[in-house]
Amino acid sequence: MFNISRLNKYIIIIIFLSFSLSACRREEVSETKILFNTYCSITVWASQRGGEEAIRSAFERMGEVESKFNIHSETSPLYRFNREGGDIEDDEIANVVKEALEIAGKSKGAFDPSVYPLLEVWGIYGEGSGIPEEKQIEKALKKVGYDNISIENGRVYSAVEGLGIDLGGIAKGYAVDEGIKELKRAGIDSALIDAGGDIYALGSKNGREWRIGLQNPRGEGNMSVFKVSDRAVVTSGDYHRYFEEGGDRYHHIIDPQTGYPSEEVVSATVIGPKAMTADGWATAVMVMGVREGLEAIKEMEEYEVFMITSEGEAVSSQGLDKYVADMNLDLLHKLDE
């Protein structure tokens, strides 16, 4: 039998529980900032306060990565290295360079962090200054070669004069990984970071995999929608930064073999466990093209690729299917027109 005081106790406990439940009720908390010259948004499923704090520390960490890897910033060790040579003594940079060199080796130099002199003559660092003269390209090509970069005990150096390092093809992915680490540290288990096409989806959203749309590289709408959980989805394309001349498109991913922008693939999406690795490979696959790109990704355990070619064809690695929630083939046909 209930006595009154016991019933009161239950009521008090129920009121207390519902108060504390509402205090930590999950909602979507989101913020967008400009980082790496692009919109970067972080969305978390958490309590309002906890979510805001976690996002703040993730942005702070990503901002640190951005400045350290910004080759145009005087405070970046890469800035000095690219102008004066010498050594870079920085474990964090050494680790990213190590990953970059690994991808360079496996992609047979399609991805090459020493592509800096070529990017300079193509004006990629400015507004895109038009097609360079053949001579300029040849001169720049002579300075490119990832084999000339060495790492020893966290020290990056080169014996070759005029060598420059650009980690632009991989640093944004690294920043996303670091942002996610920061969110996890703050107790977040459900989040999405999108740094201008470098995406990581942590956990699930209301018990369902995160849905990620892939932009049509030649217009409006989504080409496809991927469903992922604890995966990076990173896209490189020829439509982010480019200029047009004589009806041709000249974009910011340069084939280190020819010295000219890559051609066959207009958009490459790599899905896998690490955003840094996926980022490097997305750039590599743009340069490698369909056949070589597919072969290389096959060797990369847990990584899959989806490419759209300039002919409007969609090509994917064998394991990609499990991530496809929707594919808009109508848009693909239009690409070809």
Of the candidate residues 279, 305, 307, 332, the single one contacting ligand ADP (CB under 6 A): 279
Q: Is 283 in the site for Mg ion (CB under 5 A)?
A: yes
Q: Is 283 in the site for ligand ADP (CB under 6 A)?
A: yes
The CA distance from 287 to 115, in Å, is: 12
Alpha helices in the chain (DSSP H): 4-23, 48-68, 77-84, 91-106, 116-121, 134-143, 171-185, 275-298, 329-336
Of the candidate residues 65, 121, 254, 305, the single one contacting ligand ADP (CB under 6 A): 254
Decide which of ligand ADP, Mg ion, none touches 254; Cβ closer than 5 to 8 Å per partner kind.
ligand ADP
Minimum gap (Å) between residue 31 Cβ and ligand ADP? 20
Q: Is 256 in the site for ligand ADP (CB under 6 A)?
A: yes
Q: Select the span of 45-53, 186-194, 202-210, 249-257 touching ligand ADP (CB under 6 A).
A: 249-257
Residue 239 · residue 217 · CB < 8 Å: yes
Minimum gap (Å) between residue 49 Cβ and Mg ion? 35
Q: What track of x and - describes contact with Mg ion for positions 154 through 173 (by CB under 5 A)? A: ---------------x----
Q: Which amino acid is at 98?
A: K
Phi-psi region of 179 (alpha: psi -120 to 50; beta: other; left: phi over 0): alpha
Site for Mg ion in 214-243 (CB under 5 A): 236
Q: Is 250 in the site for ligand ADP (CB under 6 A)?
A: no
Q: What track of x and - describes contact with ligand ADP for positions 14 through 43 (by CB under 6 A)? A: ------------------------------
The CA distance from 188 to 90, in Å, is: 29
Residues 6 or more apart whose CB falls under 8 angstroms from that of 125 comprise 71, 72, 119
Alpha helices in 69-204 (DSSP H): 77-84, 91-106, 116-121, 134-143, 171-185
The CA distance from 209 to 242, in Å, is: 34
Quick one: 46 or 218, whose CB is closer to ligand ADP? 218
Q: Is 217 helix (H, G, I), strand (E, B) or coil?
A: coil
Q: Select the span of 6-14, 41-49, 105-113, 301-309 touching ligand ADP (CB under 6 A).
A: 105-113
Question: What is each CA distance from 193 to 6, 156, 181, 234, in whole angstroms?
Answer: 49, 30, 11, 11
Decide which of Mg ion, ligand ADP, none touches 112; Cβ closer than 5 to 8 Å per partner kind.
ligand ADP
Q: Select the span of 77-85, 208-216, 253-261, 293-301 touching ligand ADP (CB under 6 A).
A: 253-261
Which tokens in the block code for residue 111?
Answer: 């991805």
Q: Is 166 in the site for ligand ADP (CB under 6 A)?
A: yes
Of the candidate residues 252, 277, 307, 308, the single one contacting ligand ADP (CB under 6 A): 252
Q: Which amino acid is at 274?
A: K
Sign of CA dihedral 266, 199, 213, 243: negative
Quick one: 49 or 83, whose CB is closer to ligand ADP? 83
Q: What track of x and - describes contact with ligand ADP for positions 208 through 227 (by CB under 6 A)? A: --------------------
Residue 235 · residue 267 · CB < 8 Å: yes
Q: By CB under 6 A, name the binding residues for ligand ADP.
A: 111-113, 115, 119, 124, 166, 168-169, 172, 196-197, 236, 240, 252-254, 256, 279, 282-283, 287
